[in-house]
Structure 1
Amino acid sequence: MRLASSLLPTSLLSALLLPSAADAEARFRVTASWVENQIAPEERARNMHFTYLVTLGNDKKVRETSQMRMERRRAGPPDQSRESQLGETGGGRALTQWKVVNESTLVRLTGWPSHTFAIWLRTQGDRSCTASLEWRLKPGFTIYESWSSIRGQYRKFTEPAWPRATCEVL
C-alpha cells in the first residue's frame, strides 16, 4: 500500500476512507480451504481450496481474482476476475458483494439459494490481516447447495468441515 508519508492510519481500510489518501490502494491475498462432505449427486468428501487476490482501490472499487485448486487432475474453471463498487452485487448463480463493516473489516458475502457464505477480512494496522470463513443456512434449509459448473448441476453437502483461512497484505 502506498500512502503519503504524512498519513499514519490505524488501519488499511480507514486509510482508504480518508479523502487525503487519494493514491491509497490496499491489496490482500486470502487463501481459504475446507472440506465439503457431499451427499448428492454422489457421496464423497471434496477438498476445496481457493485463493482470492483482493484490491480495494481509492475509487471505492473492489477488484478480485479468484483461483480454485482442484483435488483431481481434471481441469478446473479458469481464474475468475470481477470488479465492483463496494456494496454492489454481482455474480451468476450466486450473488456476491464486498462490504465495509468498519474501519478494519471487509466482508465478502455470497448468497446461494440455500445459504450465505462469508469471508471476513480484518486488518491489524497497515501490515497485518486475518481472514475467517462462515456458512449460514437460510430459513427452511437443512443442507447446503452450490453449483457445479463441471457437472452442470447442484451439489448438496453438509456443513463444511475444517475451515482454514489465511490473509496476507501485499
Structure 2
Amino acid sequence: MFDKLLSWFSVDMGIDLGTCNTLVCVRGEGIVLNEPSVVAVRRGTNRVLNNGNAVGFSAKEMLGKTPGSITAVRPLKDGVISDFEITEAMLSYFIRKVSGRGRVIGPRVVIAVPSGITAVEKRAVLESAERAGARRVYLVEEPMAAGIGAGLPIPEPTASMIVDIGGGT
C-alpha cells in the first residue's frame, strides 16, 4: 500500500543499458530516451564534466572537440559495467532527465541485463542504479525483456527465437 502511494510521486521506468546506446522507457509513455552510452570526463580524476551533465548526446558531441585533458568514456563493455562510478553517473543523469528534477522520490527501475552475466556483475548493476537514485531496482534478462516487449506469449509452451544484434554483441 505504501509503495502504491509512493508511485504517485515517482515514475516507473525500464532501462536498457546498452554498450552503444541506453534506452529508457516510462510506464504508459513508451521509450522517452535513447542516447549514446558515453560520458565525458576529465582525464586523471574521472570527474564528469559540466556538473555531471556531459552524458549521452552532449558527451558524444564533445568527441574530437576537446583538449587532451578530457576524454569520452563508454562505461559498459559487452553489455556489462566496466567502470562502476562512470556508469553510476550516467544512470543518475538519465534517471534525473526522465523523472524530472522536482521529484523527491526515486523511481522504480527495471534494468535489462545480458543473460550470461555473473552474480557479481548483477550486483554491480543493482548497486549502480540504487546509488544513482532508484528507489527499487529489478533485473530482467535481455532476451526475456525483448520477448515481453515484442508481445511474445511468454507463459505459453511455444517456441520463440530472439536475436540480439546490439552494439556489444
Measured against the shorter chain, the TM-score band is 0.3 to 0.5
TM-score normalised per structure 2: 0.32
Bigger share in helix:
2
Taking structure 1 as the reference length, the TM-score comes to: 0.32
